[in-house]
Amino acid sequence: MGASLTLHFRPRDMSVMTDDIVKVRQPRITLDGQLVSYCEREALRLDALAARARWGWVARRYERKAARARAQGERSRLRETARGRGDGPDASADSFG
């Protein structure tokens, strides 16, 4: 007398309805999505190192590295936008914090 489990698939909205419970699948986090937030954090870290650098040439090197990290983050952000993932709250979510 066990209840049967019926699965209804809805490919349009990527959800699976199990009897009365609807579970929505989270979109896959892409490498570009992870790189957006990583590059932002890395640029902030390099800016802090540049501010504390003792010599000017070291500070300039950190500033150049921070600029490269920001450029990479912007390229990844543009690819995510082109993919249709936009600048929403989940656009910069990553799996490692």
Is pTM beyond 0.75 here? no
**Which of helix, strand or coil describes residue 5?**
coil
Count CB neighbours of 72 within 10 A: 17
- E strands in 11-91: 15-18, 21-24
pLDDT in tens, 34-82: 999 999 999 999 999 999 999 999 999 999 999 999 999 999 999 999 9
**Torsion angle of the four alpha carbons 66, 67, 68, 72, in this order, in degrees rounded to the nearest 10:** 100
